[in-house]
Amino acid sequence: MALQVPSRQLFIDGEWREPVLKNRFPIVNPATEQIIGDIPAATSEDVDLAVAAARRALSRNKGKDWASASGAVRAKYLRAIAAKITERKTELGKLEAMDCGKPLDEAVWDIEDVAGCFEYYADLAEGLDAKQKAPVSLPMETFKSYVLKEPIGVVGLITPWNYPLLMATWKVAPALAAGCAAILKPSELASITCLELAEVCREVGLPPGVLNILTGLGPEAGAPLASHPNVDKIAFTGSTTTGSKIMTAAAQMVKPVSLELGGKSPIIVFEDVDLDKAAEWTAFGCFWTNGQICSATSRLIVHEKIAKEFVDRLVKWTKNIKISDPLEEGCRLGPVVSGGQYEKVLKFISTAKSEGATILSGGVRPEHLKKGFFVEPTIITDVTTSMQIWREEVFGPVLCVKTFSTEEEALELANDTHYGLGAAVISNDLERCDRVSKELQAGIVWINCSQPCFCQAPWGGNKRSGFGRELGEWGLENYLSVKQVTQYISDEPWGWYSSPSKL
C-alpha cells in the first residue's frame, strides 16, 4: 500500500520555514509517473538564513551547547535520532521506495543502515573526547606539543538521489559527531526521507541550527551553498560534472571539499569460479539499486575459457529478477529515478548498438509494465574499449562485457578508465585475489563479492571518482580540523638574540 507523503517546509534553525520565494515543485513516483506530493524549493535567500542559523548554533553559549560540548553530549542526540529512525523504519522505507524507485526490501535495508550509521558515529563522538590532547613526540626536550581535534565549522552537504537518506547520513552523522553545524541539500529527485530526518531532529530536540535541511534545485540551492563565504567545507556525492563545478566554486574561497563522484567499476571473473555464485554477485554488482550506484561493477571482464557459459548463466539469473512496482512483494528491480534518467539510459543502449555492440539481453522496457521508468537489466557484448558504453557511467541497469586470457590483460582492461571508485575480483585462488587487489586502481576492492558496504570501512575513490574518504574513522576526520598546541617548557630564556639586560 502506498503512503500519503507528508507535506513539509524547509528546516531552518530548528523549525519549519516556508521558502522566502514561496516556491514548491512536484514529487514524481518513478514507478507510476504520478505526482505524489511536493517539496519546497530553496534559493540563495534560504541558504543565507540556514548558514546564519548554523553559525549561531556553533557559537551559542560560547560553543558549550554543541561545538565544544563533549562528544558524549552529541552522541546522545545521534542515538536518539537512530532510535526514531528505527521506530519509523517501515514507513521511511516505503517513502524512499516511492520517491526513488528502489525495491522496498532494499529501501528498508537502507533505513536500517541509516540507523546503524548514526549509532556508529555516536560511538565515535564519545571516543573523540579521549583522543583530545594526543601528545606529539618532539626532538627537543624544551618543548611539548599536543593535538586538538576541533569541528571544521559550518559544513554544506550536497547529496544524490540513489540512496537519498543513506548518502545524507554518511555526511550528517559524522559532521554532527565532530561538532559541526550542517546544511544538507538533498537531490531534487528524491528528498522526502531527508525532510523526515528534519522531523526526527525536531522531535529529539536537536539544538536549533545544528542541522538545516534545504530541498531545492542544484543551481538554485546547491550552488549558493557551495560558494557561500560562511560555509567552511563542502562534502558532495554525485556526478563528476557537478563535483567539478562545486570544486571550482569552493576554490574561490579556498574551501576544502570532499568529493564522491561517478565510476565505471570493473568486475574480473577468473576461470576457476563457481559459475552460479559468480553470476549472482555479477548481477547484484550491477543491477542492485536498479543499477544506480556510483560503485556499480558495470564492466564485466571474464576469462575467455568460461565466457560463453558464464554469460549464458548470467542471462538466466538476470531473467529471474522480479521487475515490478518497488512496493510489490519480492521486487528486485524497480524503475530508474526519473524520465530524464530513463531517456539517458536508453540513449546509452542505442549508442552502444549503433557503435557495433550486441544487446544480448534486456535493453528495453519490460513488456508487462506500461507505465513507469523501467528498463530491463541489460547485458551488452561485442564491446570495444573505445565505445561509449565501456568508458562512460550509465547509472542504470546496464552491464558491458569483455573477455581476457591473462591476469595482466584483465588488469589492463580493469584499469582502463578515468574513474577509480570500486573494483571486484572473483576467483577461488585467494593469492591471486590479493595480488590483483593491489594492482586495481580503485578506492574499494571487493573479493568474491561486489557492493557490500559497511559503515566501519572507508569509502571513496581515486582519479575522477573524487577524493577524500567517507565512513569509518576517516569519515569523522573529514569534519575535524587538527590544531597543534606547542608549549615552551624550559625555565631557560630562549637565548637567540643578545639580551639587552646584559648590555
Per CB under 6 A, residues contacting ligand NAI are 158-162, 185-189, 218-219, 222-223, 226, 237-239, 242, 245-246, 261-262, 294, 341, 344, 393, 395
Place of cell 559532521: 175
Secondary element (H or E) of residue 379: strand 378-381
**Alpha carbons 263 and 386: distance in angstroms, whole number:** 16
Given Na ion, ligand NAI, ligand ABU, none, residue 185, with its beta carbon under 5 to 8 Å by kind, binds ligand NAI
* Residue with Cβ nearer Na ion (220 or 470): 220
The three-state secondary structure class of 163 is coil
* Residue with Cβ nearer ligand ABU (187 or 403): 187
> How much of the chain is helix, strand and coil, in % rounded to 5?
40, 20, 40
CB of 204 to Na ion, least distance (A): 26
CB 143 within 8 A of CB 488: yes
* Residue with Cβ nearer ligand NAI (187 or 427): 187
* Residue with Cβ nearer Na ion (190 or 314): 190
Does position 325 bind Na ion by CB under 5 A? no
Residues belonging to the chain: 503
**Alpha carbons 196 and 92: distance in angstroms, whole number:** 8
Q: Which residues, 351 to 370, sit near ligand ABU by CB under 6 A?
A: none
134-136 and 34-40 strand pairing? unpaired
Given ligand ABU, Na ion, ligand NAI, none, residue 99, with its beta carbon under 5 to 8 Å by kind, binds Na ion
Q: Which residues, 181 to 240, sit near Na ion by CB under 5 A?
A: 190
Instruction: Specify the amino acid at residue 35.
Output: I
* Residue with Cβ nearer ligand ABU (270 or 395): 395
CB of 331 to Na ion, least distance (A): 17
**Alpha carbons 58 and 56: distance in angstroms, whole number:** 5
CB of 31 to Na ion, least distance (A): 10
* Residue with Cβ nearer ligand NAI (189 or 286): 189
CB of 200 to ligand NAI, least distance (A): 20
Q: Which residues, 83 to 142, sit near Na ion by CB under 5 A?
A: 99
| Helices and strands in the chain: count of H runs, count of E runs | 15, 22
| Three cell numbers written together for 427 | 576467483
Question: Of the ranges 57-65, 212-220, 289-297, 361-369, which one interacts with ligand ABU (CB under 6 A)?
Answer: 289-297
378-381 and 398-404 strand pairing? parallel
* Residue with Cβ nearer ligand ABU (113 or 376): 113
Angle between helices 164-178 and 89-100 (to 10 degrees): 120
| Three cell numbers written together for 383 | 564491446
* Residue with Cβ nearer Na ion (36 or 148): 36
Q: Is 309 a catalytic residue?
A: no
CB of 47 to ligand NAI, least distance (A): 11
CB 235 within 8 A of CB 176: no
147: which residues sit within 8 A by CB, 6+ positions away?
133, 134, 136, 482, 483, 484, 485
Given Na ion, ligand NAI, ligand ABU, none, residue 295, with its beta carbon under 5 to 8 Å by kind, binds ligand ABU
Task: Region of 37 please: left (phi>0), alpha (psi -120 to 50) or beta.
Answer: left
Please identify which residue in 36, 83, 147, 453 interacts with ligand ABU, judged by CB under 6 A.
453
SS (HEC) of 18-53? CCCCCCEEEEEECCCCEEEEEEECCCHHHHHHHHHH
CB of 28 to Na ion, least distance (A): 5
Please identify which residue in 159, 191, 227, 295 interacts with ligand ABU, judged by CB under 6 A.
295
CB of 193 to Na ion, least distance (A): 11
Q: Which residues, 218 to 247, sit near ligand ABU by CB under 6 A?
A: 237
Please identify which residue in 57, 175, 195, 294 interacts with ligand ABU, judged by CB under 6 A.
294
Given ligand NAI, ligand ABU, Na ion, none, residue 57, with its beta carbon under 5 to 8 Å by kind, binds none
Q: Residue 272's closest CA among 310, 314, 318?
A: 310
The three-state secondary structure class of 6 is coil
Outline where DSSP puts E strands in 382-435: 398-404, 419-420, 422-426
Please identify which residue in 10, 293, 400, 401 interacts with ligand ABU, judged by CB under 6 A.
293
Catalytic residue (choose from 260, 393, 407, 470): 260
Q: Which residues, 161 to 190, sit near ligand ABU by CB under 6 A?
A: 162-163
Write out the residues near ligand ABU by the rule CB under 6 A: 162-163, 237, 260, 293-295, 453
Tell me the catalytic residues.
260
Write out the residues near Na ion by the rule CB under 5 A: 99, 190
